[in-house]
Homo-oligomer: A and B are copies of this chain.
Amino acid sequence: MLSSCLAFPAICDKVSPVAISERRIGAADSKTRAQLLDAAERLLIEDGYAAVTSRRVAAEAGLKPQLVHYYFRTMDDLFVELFRRSADAAFARAEKRLAKDPSLATLWALNNDPRGAAFLVGFAALANHRKTIRVEIARYAERNRARQLAAITGALQSAGVDEGTIPPVVALVLMTGLGQVLGIERGLGVKAGHAETLAFVERVVAGRVAP
């Protein structure tokens, strides 16, 4: 992984250890704390961020509403912690799969993950009126792009695709956009063109068609 860090420094950016809130109480490894985050995550994905209120999170976790404010002083703190936890987990999963098989197929599988799409839409909308969340997402997105760029650059070389045909970063942005639009539309129930597009991507990924 060191080579990737040298070629694409953003990959190895440390997440700054700045405290979310000075007055946070409660042990970081509290079981209750984790239960609340789990509940918030379910609500965010299934019902959207407007459903993530202190009362509903608590109800979903089978706990009292006030506990939310004990473990996360403000709802903003909860959102930031939730995002970091999920993003770090997703990044770690991706890292594991890419280290094992840094292929176009793996990259496509990562970008076409339905969980990722629901998660992204939830947080992208949330970012609109929570500035603290916006910078958090932006940092993660850049880090993710850098990591995937390292992978796709190698994958395209292996596949014998010339950089003049399509620059790796362009192929990556295309792939990301495709995964997102398919994910969002799947959620809405829109299906026009999906089957054809998936079939096409499968062929490209398998190397049977030039990208």
Residue ranges of A at the interface with B (Cβ–Cβ < 8 Å):
10, 46-51, 120-122, 124-129, 134-135, 137-138, 141-142, 145-146, 149, 166-167, 169-170, 172-174, 176-182, 184-185, 187-190, 192-194, 196-197, 200
Identical copies of this chain, number: 2
CA distance A129 to B122 in the complex (A): 11
B184 close to A169 (CB less than 8 A): no
Does the CB pair A51–B121 fall under 8 Å? Answer: no
What are 25 residue pairs bridging A and B, where the CB atoms are less than 8 Å apart in the complex? A10-B192, A46-B128, A48-B125, A49-B125, A50-B50, A121-B121, A121-B128, A122-B125, A122-B128, A124-B188, A127-B188, A134-B189, A138-B189, A138-B190, A141-B190, A142-B192, A149-B193, A170-B196, A170-B197, A172-B193, A173-B178, A173-B194, A174-B174, A176-B181, A181-B181
Q: Which residues of B lie under 8 Å from residue A172 when comparing CB positions?
A: 193
Q: Are A129 and B47 in contact (CB under 8 A)?
A: yes
Flag if B138 contacts A188 (CB, 8 Å): yes
19 further A-B pairs in the complex, CB-CB below 8 A; given A173-B197, A176-B181: A46-B128, A48-B125, A48-B126, A49-B125, A50-B50, A122-B125, A138-B189, A141-B188, A142-B190, A145-B190, A146-B192, A167-B196, A169-B197, A170-B196, A170-B200, A174-B197, A177-B178, A177-B180, A180-B180
